[in-house]
A = this chain, B = another copy of it.
Amino acid sequence: MEINRKMKRAVKVGPLTIGGGFPIVVQSMAAVKTSKVDDVLRQIKEAIPYGLELMRVSVLDMEDAEALRELTAQSPVPIVADIHFDYRLALLAADSGVAAIRINPGNIGSEDRVKAVVEACQTRRIPIRIGINGGSLFKDHEATPEEMVAAAKEHVAILERNSFYDIVISLKSSSPLTTIEANRLADQVFPYPLHLGATEAGPKDVSLIRSAAVLSPLLLDGIGDTIRLSMSEPPLEEVKAGHRLLRDLGLEERWPFFVSCPTCGRTMVDLMPLARKVQAYLEERRLNIKVAVMGCIVNGPGEARDADIGLAGGHGVYALFKKGKIIKTVNEKDAYDVLIAEIEKDL
């Protein structure tokens, strides 16, 4: 099975391209106030080794807006400014080196204000992301997929009337099914790339399931040009999760595919600490290899023969195997080092 990605308008976001068949961009959002530039930069730098490509920050007030110039000057990745309502913050952001702005033009106010923001973005080739949140649309009910798409249409129409087409759209509801359906509808309606995510998914254990449950069916349909797996964790965790999901679906090349058995009555070694250590090594380096850490020396190498390299545990020993064939047997305490040495030999 191969995924046929939908072809949407190619939108430039700083050095990146979202849409147009380009690789899906993994983004995150800073979990600290933007005016604390050093904290934001620290979160960015922590996440970059794991493939952070684009960072969104919320611009709540003038203090945040004024911090953008320093932030964009120092950040190794492009910055998206997230702005609600206040068009002056948008103007200041556009003038401070951000690569994109998230704002809903229907919420800015008068046509003059819209024109001012559009012009500021147009001059600097800054795209606008329209973000529809199903929970915020109406005072009396959670929006339906149709209502969410209708709301997006209104915002899009305002931009198009101003000859502005560098648009990315997101539609999120706290309901996974509503989010899936809204994005399927939006894919039918809009020629613009879609940003996918589950909203308010909360703690990591909840978010990983809910985000994958929402994004996987859409990505399988070829929908989605940028993703954020939002959770109550630092950005680097969001970024890892995003690449893992894309890799699982064959949509990501710079990431390991890691296989490990859930351990059962057969397991004679302390598998998990080793598995976690190997996984951390592979992900920190974003190595595009398939690695297996299996509990069972009898079945492991065979079951994981699709892996480029792996370890399978017996009584206090591990077999090192490549493409299903055992190369050598090593003591449990040496297993990690031997595996890594063998991986690095082939890099």
**Using a CB–CB distance below 8 Å, which chain A residues touch chain B?**
1, 3, 29-35, 57-58, 60, 64, 133, 135-136, 139, 141-142, 145, 174-178, 180-181, 200-217, 220, 230-232, 240-241, 244-245, 248-250, 258-267, 271-272, 275-276, 279, 292-294, 299, 302-306
Q: Chain B's nearest CB lies how many Å from the CB of A232?
A: 5
- Out of B34, B135, B212, B264, which one reaches A208, CB within 8 Å? B212
Q: How many copies does the complex hold?
A: 2
CB-CB under 8 A for A262 and B230, given A216-B216, A245-B209: yes
Instruction: Assess the A30–B249 pair: CB atoms within 8 A.
Output: no
CB-CB under 8 A for A299 and B32, given A216-B217, A258-B206: no
Interface residues of chain A: helix, strand, loop or mixed (majority): mixed
Residues of B within 8 A of A294 (CB): 200
Chain B, residue nearest A3 (CB): B177
Q: Chain B's nearest CB lies how many Å from the CB of A322?
A: 15
Can you give 8 contacting A-B residue pairs, CB < 8 Å?
A29-B262, A58-B265, A60-B265, A136-B302, A139-B302, A201-B262, A203-B258, A209-B245
Q: When chains A and B are docked, how far (Å) is the Cα of A294 from the Cα of B276?
A: 32
Instruction: Assess the A60–B208 pair: CB atoms within 8 A.
Output: no
- Out of B176, B180, B203, B240, which one reaches A272, CB within 8 Å? B203
- Out of B57, B260, B299, which one reaches A232, CB within 8 Å? B260
Q: Chain B's nearest CB lies how many Å from the CB of A174?
A: 5
Q: When chains A and B are docked, how far (Å) is the Cα of A35 from the Cα of B265?
A: 9
